[in-house]
Amino acid sequence: MNKNGFTLVELSIVLVIIGLVIGGVMDCRDLIETTKIRAQITQISDIETQINTFRLKYNCLPGDCTNATTVIGASFNSYTINDGDGDNIIRSTYAYGAVQATGDCLQPDATGEVSQLLLQLRAAGFGNYLANGVLNSGNAIIGINYSYAAYGNRTGFFISCLTRTTNAAWIPLFLRRGNIIVIGAGAATVGRIGYGIGTYGKYAWGTYGYYGASTFINPIGIPADVVRQIDEKIDDGIPNSGKFGIISGESLCDDSVTSYPTPNIACRVTAGKKIN
């Protein structure tokens, strides 16, 4: 009785085909990841260009202009445009209602400069951001009050500031002062981030994670290895120096690390880029 089976040649062909399929899947994943990283770099570059173009045209920062309602208009798509205080700082609102020290980034009576910046860029025709310009002492909703990061994992993207605070250790050293682009800010599970974002770096305090007092960043953000790849392309490749790096993150990759973790360490971070 004859028994039919696969020959060694046939088995080899099948194994080669399986290998090609697996290789194609892996290459496709790598291509998708590379595309997402490029999109994030483009988003950073675009908003810097738009902010600088806006500043040249109106002689002020979007969100901070004292005459925004005059030069742009009082509203855009039914959203109210507010004037800023003209101090060249994109201020956050501190939910606990008190300025910590003279010169701090946070300011409880700010009119919404963080969300207004994106709205005013959009109103002036420099970008198409999701931001309604609203700011109060509650939580922001990504996709309404702020835009999504282009990396595509539904975390936040916006501009805020870091300046001197009562406890300077709360702020990453390389971002001690100035306006910054924030990438990968808290989404938690409900798409909300604290309105105080941009002030205290390592702690929530209405800042980088889900809203809550003195809590470490909820593990949200973007992969640390993605931040490394962006850093190597636009800055110095070091997480705690230059103009781009880690603001906050999980324990193995927070703002205290002097080199990025290896790609196999899957921790997530919030990153920041100083505005040129």
Q: What are the pLDDT digits (tens) for 16-67?
A: 777 677 766 666 888 899 999 999 999 999 999 999 999 999 999 999 999 9
Cα–Cα separations (whole angstroms), residue 226 to 160, 166, 210, 256: 21, 32, 22, 18
Q: Which two tokens stand for residue 8?
A: 């060694």
Q: Are 140 and 115 in contact (CB under 8 A)?
A: yes
Residue 273 clears pLDDT 60, i.e. is over it:
yes
Q: Are 273 and 181 in contact (CB under 8 A)?
A: yes
Residue 197's pLDDT band, with cuts at 50, 70 and 90, is very low
Residue 234 clears pLDDT 60, i.e. is over it:
yes
Mean per-residue pLDDT for 181-207? 49
**pLDDT score recorded for residue 6:** 64
Q: Which two tokens stand for residue 98?
A: 């008190």
Lowest mean per-residue pLDDT among 72-81, 109-118, 250-259: 109-118
Cα–Cα separations (whole angstroms), residue 92 to 141, 257, 270: 15, 26, 17
Angle at 145 between CA 168 and CA 121, to 5 degrees: 90
Q: Which H helix or E strand runs over 244?
A: strand 244-249
Residue 89 clears pLDDT 90, i.e. is over it:
no
Mean per-residue pLDDT for 158-186? 68
Burial of residue 209 (CB within 10 Å: 0-12, 13-18, 19+) is buried
Q: What are the pLDDT digits (tens) for 243-272?
A: 999 887 777 887 788 999 999 888 888 888
Residue 115 clears pLDDT 70, i.e. is over it:
yes
SS3 240: coil
What average pLDDT is seen over the chain? 76
**pLDDT score recorded for residue 141:** 72
Encode burial over 125-154: b for 16+ CB neighbours within 10 A, e otherwise.
ebbebbbbbbbeeebbbbeebbbbbbbeee
**Nearest alpha carbon to residue 157 among 43, 49, 275, 37:** 43
**pLDDT score recorded for residue 100:** 53
Residue 121's pLDDT band, with cuts at 50, 70 and 90, is very high
**Nearest alpha carbon to residue 39 among 200, 247, 183:** 183
Residue 199's pLDDT band, with cuts at 50, 70 and 90, is very low
Q: Are 183 and 222 in contact (CB under 8 A)?
A: yes
**pLDDT score recorded for residue 254:** 78
**C-alpha gyration radius of the chain:** 22
Kind of pairing, strands 268-274 and 222-223? antiparallel
Kind of pairing, strands 79-80 and 139-141? unpaired
Within 8 A by CB and 6+ apart from 150, the residues are 36, 39, 40, 42, 43, 157
Residue 213's pLDDT band, with cuts at 50, 70 and 90, is very low
